[in-house]
Structure 1
Amino acid sequence: MYEYIKGAVAEVAPAYAVIDAGGVGYYLHISLETYAAVEHAAEAKLYVHYVVREDAQLLYGFSTKVEREVFRLLISVSGVGGNTARMILSTYSPHELQGIITSGNAVLLKNVKGLGLKTAQKIIVELSGKLAVLGADAAGDAPLAGADGGCFDEALAALVMLGFARAAAEKVLRAVMRELPRASVEELIRAALKRL
């Protein structure tokens, strides 16, 4: 129904963005990949996946068509909903996910919060060969920005918003910051998600 929404970034957090397009604020659920692309932008164009359920109408936003396509492939797997797919894309970039699925590494995939071994194996079986849609676009890396107190607080808030216990998230983030002192907020969150 909607291909993309383009407009001013009214509000952005690691789990959502509000895009003001034509005087209407669209609330879009986003991954950390998309968050990194729009967190400092004044204006953004997000490709949309629209979900209509009995109890809700949801918009998922993606900074690239590749990320949206991977999201759609993930939700085509029985047992994987929008939030689980978003969590997978917050933990692994489309390029990393392609590598995991190609190598059949279900153990690595089950490290995603809320994903069990059986579902991880099902994703690998059903999406093997289908991720060939990913081209060179899937391998974009975020630049380093230097982690400071603000980055730590922002990463901690994001992890708490994603449902992790504050104490556990704080402990893991401190360990990550010791290992990656110049990491951006997105890199801190990705590394923490792989350990939680």
Structure 2
Amino acid sequence: MIAFIEGTVRELRDASVVIQSGGLGYEVFVARPTLDRCRQGETVQLSTRLVVREDAWLLFGFHDKDLLTLFDLLTGVSGVGPKLALALLSQLPPAVLAGAIFDGDARLLSSVSGVGKKTAERLVLELQGKVPEHLRVAPTQAGRGRPSNPAVQDAVDALIALGYREVQVRSAVAELAQAAPEATADQLIRKALGKLR
């Protein structure tokens, strides 16, 4: 097993990065949060998982241990392969994803591209008790319940009413609320509109 890779980012692709390490270039598949942190020419260290198939060996990388933990949990569910796990990790921040699983919000999970209703229900059924406690700090931001900050839910409701997809809205608002916990609904909506356009 390859536990991590450290090297220079040589190329950024849509869903992967090429990292030069020890004279070789490794294509490492990554989720959007990891891809966003990689800069061409900079040195990175990513925790990895090697997936061996009949026709290929695929390396998946994560800048954050929480992403790796969720990837391992997701790929342990029947019918969820590494690419679908990356799609979930790309479209939902870890706290939102963990909160959706913990709260049993199959609707939010199925709003992710490639995740059907049955797969979403299976994710909830198999992982509900396995999500690490520290990832569930703000589960109601992902679920249908009212969050401790009503401005978050008000902003989400308003953006969905404007026609934005729920998964994108919840992801954007959760990130903004985490960065600025005292923000009003109006402030969250304005900042989220900037991110969603």
TM-score (norm 1): 0.68
| Residue aligning to 1:29 | 29
Asked if the contact 1:110/1:120 (under 8 Å) is kept, the reply is yes
Paired residue for 1:62? 62
Q: Is the 8 A contact 1:14 1:31 kept in 2?
A: no
TM-score w.r.t. structure 2 length?
A: 0.68
Q: Tell me which amino acid in the other structure corresponds to 2:34.
A: T
Shift of 1:16: 0.4
Q: Distance in 2 between matches of 1:51 and 1:137?
A: 30
Which residue in 2 is equivalent to 1:126?
A: 126
CA contact (8 A) 1:17 1:29 kept: yes
Take 1:34 and 1:14, find their aligned partners in 2: how far apart are those partners? 12
- Residue by residue over 1:10-38, the C-alpha shift from the partner in whole angstroms, topping out at 9 and shown as x without a partner, is 11134101111111111011100111221
- Aligned-residue identity in percent: 39
Match of 1:20 in 2: 20
Cα contact 1:9–1:17 (8 A) shared by 2: yes
Structure 2 gap segments, 5+ residues each: 139-167, 173-189
Task: Tell me the equivalent position of 2:95.
Answer: 95
Deviation at 1:133, TM superposition (A): 5.5
The answer to whether the aligner puts 1:6 opposite 2:6 as a matched pair is yes
Q: Which runs of 4+ in 1 moved over 2 A?
A: 133-138, 178-183
Q: CA deviation at 1:90?
A: 0.5
Paired with 1:182 and 1:113, the residues of 2 have a C-alpha distance of 22
Structure 1 pair 37–68 and aligned structure 2 pair: CA distance change class (3 A)? same
Distance in 1 (CA, whole Å) between partners of 2:133 and 2:7 is 28
Give yes or no for contact 1:6–1:21 (8 Å, CA) kept in 2.
yes
Per the TM alignment, residue 41 of structure 1 is displaced from its structure 2 partner at its CA by: 6.7
Shift of 1:114: 1.1
Please tell me whether the aligned partners of residues 94 and 135 of structure 2 are also in contact (alpha carbons under 8 angstroms): no
* Amino acid in the other structure paired with 2:90: S
Q: Does 1:115 align with 2:142?
A: no
Tell me which residue corresponds to 1:85: 85
Distance of 2:106 and 2:14 partners within structure 1? 26
Q: Distance in 2 between matches of 1:60 and 1:85?
A: 11
| Deviations, residues 76-124 of structure 1 (Å, cap 9, x unaligned) | 0000001100000001111111110111110110011111101100001
Residue 181 of structure 1 and its aligned partner are, at CA, apart by 5.4
Evaluate the alpha carbon distance shift between residue 41 and residue 126 of structure 1 in structure 2; reply closer, same or farther with a 3 A threshold: farther
Q: Which runs of 5+ in 1 are unaligned?
A: 139-171
In structure 1, distance between residues paired with 2:38 and 2:50: 19
The within-5 A match list for 1:98-177 is: 98-132=98-132, 134-135=134-135
Query: Are the counterparts in 1 of residues 11 and 40 from structure 2 also a CA contact under 8 Å?
Result: no
Number of residue pairs matched?
Answer: 149
Per the TM alignment, residue 179 of structure 1 is displaced from its structure 2 partner at its CA by: 7.5
- Whether contact under 8 Å (1:101, 1:124) holds in the other structure is yes
Aligned AA for 1:97?
Answer: L
Task: Give the drift of 1:40.
Answer: 6.0
Partner secondary structure for residue 113 of structure 1: coil
